[in-house]
Amino acid sequence: MPQLAKRMGRAKPSAIMAVAEKAKKLKAEGRDIISFSIGVPNFLPGEHVYAAAREALSHDSGQYGSNRGSDALLDAFLKHLEGSGLPGYTRRNLCVGVGAKHLLYNLAEALLDAGDTIAFATPYWTTYVDIADILEAKTLLLPCPPEQNYKLTPAQLDAALAQKPKVFLFNNPSNPTGMVYSKAEIEALAAVVAKHPDTWVVLDDIYNRLVFGDIGYHNFLHSQPQLRERTIVVDSLSKTYGMPGWRVGLIAAPESVAQAVVTLNSNHITNIPEVVSAAATAALSGPQDVTTGKVAEFAAKRDLVLDALAKIPGVVCPRPEGAFYAFPDISVAFGKTHAGSGIAIDSDVDVCNALLEVKGVACVPGSAFGEPRALRISYTCSTPQLTDGMARIQQFFAELV
Ligand code: PMP
């Protein structure tokens, strides 16, 4: 009997999807379930995006397209980059992909040989580890516990880069923590990166437009523009424009890296569809009010979540400033038992299973993101659902003995 490739022994299905599937199943059985599990935006793109898609459909060529992306889409992304303080790129620095996930995978293929090291902070977005595992790269995990607000410190980064990892991957705003680095914090980290010339830098900035309050979005290239020669900025339309299913991501990179990703595209996907490109171009270059409206809404929802968590003794939640996640430390529950059900709680997975079982609330265990003391709440559902779900979480903790 032929066997699957060895790499499939390393590839794991997404832990987030597993929770979401379980919640869906219980719902289908008639249970009253509130899902705080998947990080999906709760909105659709503006009408101009659909109009552009319809228009493109009416004169669709039906042909293969550019491996790099359509000129119109690349130009719209150049404008977007300029608007976020990153002028001076050309189309040759850019490449499109089937979402940021695909681009991160492509970048790992382009930059890492088997046995090379990729460094990133924990908590991390789950896929980072999975991509490294599939490609047989080593991971250098930089622990950023709740006590340091889940943020990487310059000293920590300095020590990590001194080990000369091939790639340093940095995510801001963060999934799963919602943390956003301030201008001063980014400048301090960028100064450290500048001291270590042997490492590629991949910035997963896909939540860059979902930042609350005054903290703003900053990246290493703002203060250290010379880092452009070894830095790749990864962006996506999924979260910002309510278009996760359209599957559009983009990178801005040194020409050699962008070209490598174009080459991989030519072998993996050829192109993204013409209609999708037109819709993505309209999203990037059209009115931005859908996104700005969502920023205000998510900030209010963040407050609701934090207020509810603050009422649970012993639960600590560093304050998220962006994206749509909260990542409370719930380790106060470990060693206790849920009084009504008799379920013993010894881990984040136990908390999430019991919460779903007893209260019908689905959260993702922090261990999926490398932090087993926490759980992730994705707060994109409606305000009444959010209020109800947070009340159920409060009750659950009140019932622990
Ligand atoms: N990076 C991070 C940090 C994410 O949270 C996600 C989606 N959950 C992605 C990349 C991938 O986004 P997409 O493939 O939808 O563009």
Which two structure tokens, joined as six digits, stand for 238?
């999924």
Q: Which residues neighbour 53 within 8 Å (Cβ) at sequence distance 6 or greater?
A: 275, 276, 278, 279, 282
d(CA 11, CA 3): 15
Which two structure tokens, joined as six digits, stand for 315?
């639960």
Q: Interface pTM (ipTM) of the complex?
A: 0.99
Residue range(s) of every CATH 3.90.1150.10 domain in the chain: 7-44+290-398
Cβ of 210 closer than 6 Å to ligand 1, yes or no, is no
Query: What pLDDT score does 52 carry?
Result: 98
| 118-160 tens-digit pLDDT | 999 999 999 999 999 999 999 999 999 999 999 999 999 999 9
CATH classification for the domain delimited by 7-44+290-398, as one of 3.40.50.10540, 3.90.1150.10, 3.30.1330.60, 3.40.50.150: 3.90.1150.10
Query: What pLDDT score does 19 carry?
Result: 78
Residue range(s) of every CATH 3.40.640.10 domain in the chain: 47-285
CA of 173 to the centre of ligand 1 (A): 11
CA of 101 to the centre of ligand 1 (A): 6
Instruction: For the domain covering 47-285, report its CATH number.
Output: 3.40.640.10
d(CA 392, CA 362): 11
| Ranges of residues in the chain whose predicted pLDDT is under 50 | none
Query: What pLDDT score does 13 carry?
Result: 67
Cβ of 94 closer than 6 Å to ligand 1, yes or no, is no
Q: What are phi and psi of 60, to 5 degrees?
A: -60, 135
Cα 190 to chain centroid, rounded: 21
Ligand 1 pocket test, candidate residues 37, 103, 206, 376, most atoms within 8 A of CB: 206
Query: What pLDDT score does 74 carry?
Result: 98
Query: What pLDDT score does 42 carry?
Result: 85
| 241-269 tens-digit pLDDT | 999 999 999 999 999 999 999 999 999 99
d(CA 258, CA 256): 6
Cα 170 to Cα 173, 200, 347: the distances in Å are 9, 11, 27
CA of 208 to the centre of ligand 1 (A): 12
pTM equals: 0.96
CA of 344 to the centre of ligand 1 (A): 34
